[in-house]
Amino acid sequence: MDEEVDISGDDGNHPSDNSPKGARMSGRVIIFDTTLRDGEQSAGTSLTPQEKLAIARQLDKLGVDVIEAGFPISSQGDFHAVQLIASELRRPFICGLAHCRPAAIDRAWEAISGAEHPRIHVFLSASDIQLAHMLKKSRQEALEMAREMVARAKGYTEDVEFSPMDATRAEPAFLFQLLETAIDAGATTVNIADTVGYSTPNEFGDLIAAVMTRVSNISRACVSVHCHDDLGMAVANSLEAVRRGARQIECTVNGIGERAGNAALEEVVMALKTRHDIFGFSTGVDTTRIYKTSRVVSDLSGFMVQPNKAIVGGNAFRHQSGIHQDGMVKEASTYEIMDPRSVGIPASSLVLGKLSGKHAFRERLAELGFSLEEEALGHAFRAFKELADKKREISDRDLESLVSEELRSKTEVYRLDHVDVSCGDHSLHSAAVRLIGPNGEVLSDAALGTGPVDAMYKVINRIVGIPNTLVEFSINANTEGMDAIGEVLIRIESDGVMYTGRGAATDIVVASAKAYMNALNRLILSKQASGEMQLPEDWSKKPGVQEAA
Ligand code: KIV
Ligand code: ZN
């Protein structure tokens, strides 16, 4: 069975109309972003509500149709983040996830009720494996739960999505019955989830085609897909699903998500655009904002993008071999299927250095998508001048590091003011550290350690006094050359939760200290959001950074 979908209607960008009819008629695939929910579920991420809001703002500018902002019943912090996003962003649909329990649905509604376009996303296991081992429910009981909980969500909002979890391993006849039940109860979107990333493009496409023909009331719902990448087929499966009738794709920026992650938004969107001849659908995404969005998510989540990652990896548009370079010089289309500018990778026309002034600095930042308030621009410019004294040429990656540092400084409860270490192969390793605390108080101390970083972390822990364990530490150079900025990424664990920290400096010891402070500050802000910790009211009076409109 390989039915082609009738591709009707124009393919221009439309305002968000996520109704089944709107989705079918517009020639447009709905992009449902779950970076803040499934992406945030990845081991090692833990974003504060403010960081989630920053990502949501960027997703809004990117033009995604639906933002799944979180799973409100899962924690106080998640609830707060979803509420914040729902109250601020007016254009996109804001979705809150809920499992099939009355309290979860009520909590999801409580979090998203302030949204202009609220959506409740109800999910329930559909495979026998999950029903038996996780829920200990029969198929009949599952049908009842789906009916009741979708109806409960419908009592709150018109827009309800239902996901049969592990749909690709469910018995198809039962899956169709479950979908029919959910649609009868009021679901306006049904989302076929390849939860464990088990399916292949052919098989998944056939399943979607079967859903389109075997679910009697399917014309009343928009068909969505949610694919995980355990076998590296999430994007291929999602695209094949579109060819066979799906009109919504769930995806995440940089493909982050549970285990091997989800279908990568940037790959899905650019495949639909570049191979419009095959798929015949467009999206509402402004592709020139993809690169910037990828950087924001990588920066805040702490997940580096691998160099060979499609679309947004550092090497994605670099041509190394002589033959390729020769072709590129003669005619870019010899080896380039996409223009890097179409995904927002800035053309490196201007190299900044020691003699560059504030005007050129501001201009280049704007080209990279950043606009800083005057005070923050002053800070970043001073840091740029200090860096230019050490490096001959300042690359775009250096500038991004400077801005990231400035962004991180906005959420500093404790600020690193000074660090001094001594080290060597026969000496004692010691560190002296001075921090500025939440009330502006100066806090200093010194310690010995097995190495300079160990000594420094001991001092910082003694001052801040929050128990935690360092579980990951890595250093990367952001560009080639001895004078590159060192970027340190660390993860610490406290009370079973993982917090990421990043820091950048030409001195890797300073970068290590900054990364540790960043992780600790995020830990403190998370505890504040969940009500476990109190902070003085005006701790955050710092200059701000805004992304360019
Ligand atoms: O992978 C999955 O099944 C999910 C559901 C909640 C849609 O994330
Ligand atoms: Zn998932």
Percent of the chain with pLDDT over 70: 91
The answer to whether the CB of 131 falls within 8 A of the CB of 156 is: no
Please name the residue that has the structure tokens 């800083």: 372
Domain membership of residue 14 (yes or no) is no
Tell me the CA–centroid distance for residue 274 and ligand 1, in Å.
Answer: 28
Domain membership of residue 433 (yes or no) is yes
Residue nearest to atom 2 of ligand 1 (CA): 195
Tell whether 145 and 277 lie within a shared domain.
Answer: yes
Tell whether 404 and 485 lie within a shared domain.
Answer: no
- What was the pLDDT predicted at 284? 96
Which residue segment(s) compose the domain that 370 sits in? 322-409
Residues 6+ away with beta carbon under 8 Å from 167: 126, 127, 175, 192, 193, 194, 195, 207
Domain membership of residue 539 (yes or no) is yes
165, 192, 238, best to mutate for ligand 1 pocket (most atoms within 8 Å of CB): 165
- What was the pLDDT predicted at 396? 82
Tell me the CA–centroid distance for residue 263 and ligand 2, in Å.
Answer: 10
Neighbours of 319 (CB within 10 A): 17
- What CATH number corresponds to the domain at position 257? 3.20.20.70
The answer to whether the CB of 391 falls within 8 A of the CB of 483 is: yes
Tell whether 327 and 423 lie within a shared domain.
Answer: no
Residues 6+ away with beta carbon under 8 Å from 50: 411, 525
Tell me the CA–centroid distance for residue 6 and ligand 1, in Å.
Answer: 28
- What was the pLDDT predicted at 526? 85
Neighbours of 134 (CB within 10 A): 12
- What was the pLDDT predicted at 6? 35
Tell me the CA–centroid distance for residue 230 and ligand 1, in Å.
Answer: 14
Q: Is the CB of 130 under 6 A from ligand 1?
A: no
pTM: 0.86
Separation in Å, CA 246 to CA 242, 302, 405: 4, 32, 41
The answer to whether the CB of 255 falls within 8 A of the CB of 229 is: yes
State which ligand 1 atom lies nearest to the alpha carbon of 262. 1
As for how many domains the chain has, the answer is: 3
> What's the average model confidence in pLDDT over 503-518?
92
Work out the angle at residue 64's Cα, subtended by the Cα atoms of residues 101 and 13, and round it to the nearest 5 degrees: 130
Q: Is residue 30 helix, strand or coil?
A: strand
Paired strand residues for 470: 492
pLDDT at 416 over 50: yes
Residue nearest to atom 8 of ligand 1 (CA): 38
Among 378, 394, 409, give the residue marking a domain's end: 409
Nearest to 243 by CA among 10, 17, 22, 3: 3
Tell whether 235 and 352 lie within a shared domain.
Answer: no
Provide the pairing of β-strand 189-194 with 248-251: unpaired
**Residue 4 banded pLDDT, cuts 50, 70, 90:** very low
Cα 430 from Cα 339, distance rounded (Å):
51
Q: Is the CB of 252 under 6 A from ligand 1?
A: no
Q: Which amino acid is at 137?
A: K
Q: Is the CB of 195 under 6 A from ligand 1?
A: yes
- What was the pLDDT predicted at 348? 58
Q: What confidence tens digit (pLDDT) does each residue in 251-285 have? A: 999 999 999 999 999 999 999 999 999 999 999 99
Q: What confidence tens digit (pLDDT) does each residue in 36-63 have? A: 999 988 767 678 888 899 999 999 999 9
- What was the pLDDT predicted at 355? 86
Ligand with smallest separation from the Cα of 189 = 1
**Residue 299 banded pLDDT, cuts 50, 70, 90:** confident
Tell me the CA–centroid distance for residue 59 and ligand 1, in Å.
Answer: 20
Tell me the CA–centroid distance for residue 34 and ligand 1, in Å.
Answer: 10
Tell whether 381 and 514 lie within a shared domain.
Answer: no
Q: Is the CB of 41 under 6 A from ligand 1?
A: no
40, 134, 163, best to mutate for ligand 1 pocket (most atoms within 8 Å of CB): 163
For the chain, the average pLDDT equals 89
pLDDT at 236 over 90: yes
Domain membership of residue 473 (yes or no) is yes
Q: Is the CB of 227 under 6 A from ligand 1?
A: no
- What was the pLDDT predicted at 540? 65
pLDDT at 94 over 70: yes
- What CATH number corresponds to the domain at position 382? 1.10.238
Determine phi and psi for 214, rounding to 5 degrees.
-95, -15
Tell me the CA–centroid distance for residue 68 and ligand 1, in Å.
Answer: 12
Residue nearest to atom 1 of ligand 1 (CA): 195
Tell whether 328 and 188 lie within a shared domain.
Answer: no
Tell whether 419 and 405 lie within a shared domain.
Answer: no
Domain membership of residue 304 (yes or no) is no
Helix (H) or strand (E) run with residue 45 in it:
none
Task: Concatenate the DSSP letters of all residues of 294-354 into one string.
Answer: HHHHHHHH--PPPTT-TTTSTTTT---SHHHHHHHHH-GGGT-SS-GGGGTPPP----EET
Q: What confidence tens digit (pLDDT) does each residue in 343-383 have? A: 998 765 567 888 888 888 898 888 887 878 888 899 899 98
Q: Is the CB of 163 under 6 A from ligand 1?
A: yes
Tell whether 239 and 99 lie within a shared domain.
Answer: yes
Tell whether 48 and 189 lie within a shared domain.
Answer: yes
Lowest mean pLDDT segment, chosen from 237-251, 469-483, 486-500: 469-483
Helix intervals (H) in 391-473: 396-409, 452-464
Among 243, 261, 287, give the residue marking a domain's end: 287
Among 270, 287, 304, give the residue marking a domain's end: 287
Query: DSSP label at 34?
Result: -
- How many residues are there in the chain? 549
Q: Is the CB of 165 under 6 A from ligand 1?
A: yes
pLDDT at 25 over 70: no
Tell me the CA–centroid distance for residue 337 and ligand 1, in Å.
Answer: 33
State which ligand 1 atom lies nearest to the alpha carbon of 97. 6
Tell me the CA–centroid distance for residue 228 and ligand 2, in Å.
Answer: 6
Cα 508 from Cα 477, distance rounded (Å):
10
Domain membership of residue 307 (yes or no) is no
Q: Is the CB of 68 under 6 A from ligand 1?
A: no
Cα 160 from Cα 357, distance rounded (Å):
53
Please name the residue that has the structure tokens 């927002």: 344
Q: Which residue has the higher pLDDT, 463 or 2?
A: 463
- What was the pLDDT predicted at 545? 44
Domain membership of residue 496 (yes or no) is yes
Tell whether 141 and 255 lie within a shared domain.
Answer: yes
**Residue 411 banded pLDDT, cuts 50, 70, 90:** confident
Domain membership of residue 423 (yes or no) is yes
Tell whether 361 and 446 lie within a shared domain.
Answer: no
Q: What is the 3-state secondary structure (H, E, C) of 386-397?
A: HHHHHCCEECHH
Q: Which amino acid is at 443?
A: L
Provide the pairing of β-strand 248-251 with 393-394: unpaired
Cα 47 from Cα 521, distance rounded (Å):
11
> What's the average model confidence in pLDDT over 229-247?
98
Tell me the CA–centroid distance for residue 74 and ligand 1, in Å.
Answer: 14
- What CATH number corresponds to the domain at position 463? 3.30.160.270
Nearest to 193 by CA among 248, 243, 232: 248
Tell whether 458 and 339 lie within a shared domain.
Answer: no
Ligand with smallest separation from the Cα of 256 = 2
- What was the pLDDT predicted at 547? 45
Nearest to 294 by CA among 316, 312, 317: 312
Q: Which residue has the higher pLDDT, 233 or 43?
A: 233
Q: Is the CB of 193 under 6 A from ligand 1?
A: yes
Q: Is the CB of 225 under 6 A from ligand 1?
A: no
> What's the average model confidence in pLDDT over 158-169?
98
Q: Which residue has the higher pLDDT, 547 or 123?
A: 123
Beta strands in 100-187 (DSSP E): 118-125, 160-165
Q: What confidence tens digit (pLDDT) does each residue in 319-350 have? A: 767 777 777 777 888 888 999 999 998 765 56
- What was the pLDDT predicted at 435? 95
- What was the pLDDT predicted at 541? 60
> What's the average model confidence in pLDDT over 291-310?
92
- What was the pLDDT predicted at 18? 60
**Residue 488 banded pLDDT, cuts 50, 70, 90:** very high
Tell me the CA–centroid distance for residue 166 and ligand 1, in Å.
Answer: 8
**Residue 543 banded pLDDT, cuts 50, 70, 90:** very low
